[in-house]
């Protein structure tokens, strides 16, 4: 009886295994929906052509509004697109505009460096200490709600004319995205990961490098990108006060010379430069995250054995310790 039963069980298991294999093979052989090469090429073409079409439509509307709605001898006729682009080619070809562009980029970089040097430590402190966050929160919100250009008279009185007030205005406007996003990243960090790192013998530098920074990095990079945009927006009006170079100064100079085609050309350069800065910042931060993921070594994870039915699941801290052990040990 036992032999027959064993044979029957084996036959049942074999038939079940064969059925399972057949089902698995059937599932594997089913064709998976995929995107064809023509669809991929069409999406790429649309992704490239749609922005280009929008630019063409904007230029046509600009030309039509000047050609059909503005009299030829009107003051607004000086802002026509043909005059503007002719002035743009002349300014770029003669090299007259490049020193102003270089001065503006230099001021933005210095202002952003000051913003990072001030905003990152403040964000870490605000996210780590509830007492510091409560004490500094009203002051930070008050300063953040004041327009950076409102500080212009005070900046000129304290720092004089020149580049220093421009650096101050850029820094006081671009610091807050870095502070708030860094604080949000530190607040969202699960403290149990730090406990796991300490229990495994990691020092402060290892905890900061392998636990804190990977957790807050997306928030910090988001704050940096917002700060870059704000810095470029603040720069142009800040350069209209007390400096003799830069795109903001060049706009005032063209206004005084009644060179309105040059003024419109400078506005186009400001918009293109801002678009380029934002694109480079976005691509740089995305590539950095991709390189980090691509360069990271594979993490060996132990799959826990299934718990028997009716068993009480492990405590949360124990599961967190099991999950974090491989991460910290590998980083060390």
Please tell me whether residues 89 and 47 are part of one structural domain.
no
Please tell me whether residues 217 and 116 are part of one structural domain.
yes
**Nearest CA to 194 among 95, 278, 71, 320?**
320
Q: Is residue 214 a part of any domain in this protein? A: yes
Tell me what pLDDT residue 13 has: 41
Tell me what pLDDT residue 199 has: 86
Taking CA atoms, 46 is separated from 50, 70, 229, 283, 322, in Å, by: 6, 35, 27, 20, 47
Query: In this predicted model, what pLDDT tens digit does every residue of 159-204 receive, in sequence order?
Result: 888 899 999 999 999 999 999 999 999 988 888 888 888 888 888 8
CA distance 120 to 113: 11
Q: Is residue 17 a part of any domain in this protein? A: no
CA distance 314 to 332: 27
What count of other Cβ atoms lies within 10 Å of the Cβ of residue 41? Answer: 10
> At 151, which CATH number?
1.10.3720.10
CA 328 to mean position of chain CA atoms: 27
Quote the pTM value: 0.68
Q: For every one of its 332 residues, what pLDDT tens digit does the chain have, with 9 covering 90 and above?
A: 444 443 444 444 444 444 444 444 444 444 445 667 777 777 877 777 788 888 888 888 988 888 888 887 777 888 888 888 999 999 999 988 999 999 999 999 999 999 999 999 999 999 888 899 999 889 999 999 998 989 999 999 998 888 999 999 999 999 999 999 999 999 888 888 888 888 888 888 888 888 888 888 889 988 998 999 899 999 989 998 878 889 999 999 998 888 888 999 999 999 999 888 888 888 876 644 444 444 444 444 443 444 444 444 444 444 444 544 444 445 45
Q: Is residue 33 a part of any domain in this protein? A: no
Which tokens in the block code for residue 148?
Answer: 């950076």
Domain count, the chain: 2
Q: Is residue 116 a part of any domain in this protein? A: yes
Tell me what pLDDT residue 35 has: 64
CA distance 143 to 176: 9
Q: Assign residue 126 a region (left: φ > 0; alpha: ψ between -120 and 50; beta: otherwise).
A: alpha
Please tell me whether residues 63 and 101 are part of one structural domain.
no
Which tokens in the block code for residue 217?
Answer: 């990095």
Q: Is residue 196 a part of any domain in this protein? A: yes
Contact (CB, 8 A) for 167 and 155: no
Please tell me whether residues 92 and 65 are part of one structural domain.
no
Please tell me whether residues 238 and 271 are part of one structural domain.
yes
Please tell me whether residues 55 and 114 are part of one structural domain.
no
Please tell me whether residues 126 and 54 are part of one structural domain.
no
Decide: residue 92, CB within 10 A, 0-12 exposed, 13-18 middle, 19+ buried: middle
Q: Is residue 211 a part of any domain in this protein? A: yes
Please tell me whether residues 51 and 98 are part of one structural domain.
no
Tell me what pLDDT residue 285 has: 66
Give the domain range for residue 198. Answer: 80-293+317-331
Range 78-84 contact pairs with CB under 8 angstroms and sequence separation of 24 or more: 78/260, 78/261, 79/260, 79/261, 79/264, 83/261, 83/264, 84/261, 84/264, 84/265, 84/268
Please tell me whether residues 54 and 109 are part of one structural domain.
no
Please tell me whether residues 118 and 65 are part of one structural domain.
no
Look-up: residue for tokens 């000051």?
A: 114
Tell me what pLDDT residue 301 has: 41
Please tell me whether residues 59 and 149 are part of one structural domain.
no
Q: Is residue 271 a part of any domain in this protein? A: yes
Q: Is residue 300 a part of any domain in this protein? A: no
Please tell me whether residues 53 and 128 are part of one structural domain.
no
Query: In this predicted model, what pLDDT tens digit does every residue of 241-255 receive, in sequence order?
Result: 878 889 999 999 998
């Amino acid at each position: 009886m036992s032999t027959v039963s064993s044979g029957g069980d084996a036959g049942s298991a074999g038939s079940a295994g064969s059925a399972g294999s057949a089902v698995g093979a059937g599932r594997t052989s089913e064709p998976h929906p995929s995107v064809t090469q023509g669809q991929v090429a069409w999406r790429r073409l649309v992704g490239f052509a749609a922005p280009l079409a929008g630019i063409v439509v904007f230029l046509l509307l600009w030309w039509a509004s000047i050609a059909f709605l503005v009299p030829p001898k009107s003051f607004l006729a000086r802002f026509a697109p043909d005059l503007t682009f002719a002035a743009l080619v002349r300014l770029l070809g003669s090299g007259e505009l490049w020193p102003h562009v270089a001065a503006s980029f230099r001021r933005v970089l210095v202002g952003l460096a000051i913003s990072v040097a001030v905003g990152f430590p403040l964000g870490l402190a605000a996210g780590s200490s509830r007492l510091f966050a409560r004490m500094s929160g009203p002051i930070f919100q008050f300063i953040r709600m004041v327009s950076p250009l409102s500080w212009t008279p005070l900046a000129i009185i304290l720092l004089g004319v020149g580049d220093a007030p421009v650096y101050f205005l850029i820094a006081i406007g671009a610091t807050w995205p870095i502070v708030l996003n860094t604080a949000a990243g530190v607040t969202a960090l699960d403290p149990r990961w730090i406990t796991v790192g300490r229990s495994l013998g990691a020092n402060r530098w290892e905890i900061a490098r392998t636990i804190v920074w990977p957790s807050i990095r997306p928030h910090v990079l988001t704050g940096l990108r917002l700060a870059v945009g704000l810095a470029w927006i603040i720069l142009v009006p800040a350069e209209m006060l007390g400096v003799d170079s830069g795109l903001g100064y060049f706009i005032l100079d063209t206004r005084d010379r009644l060179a309105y085609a040059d003024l419109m050309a400078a506005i186009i350069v400001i918009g293109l430069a801002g678009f380029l800065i934002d694109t480079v910042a976005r691509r740089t931060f995305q590539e950095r995250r991709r390189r980090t993921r691509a360069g990271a070594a594979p993490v060996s994870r132990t799959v826990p054995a299934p718990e028997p039915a009716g068993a009480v699941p492990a405590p949360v801290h124990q599961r967190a310790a099991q999950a974090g052990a491989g991460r910290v040990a590998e980083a060390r």
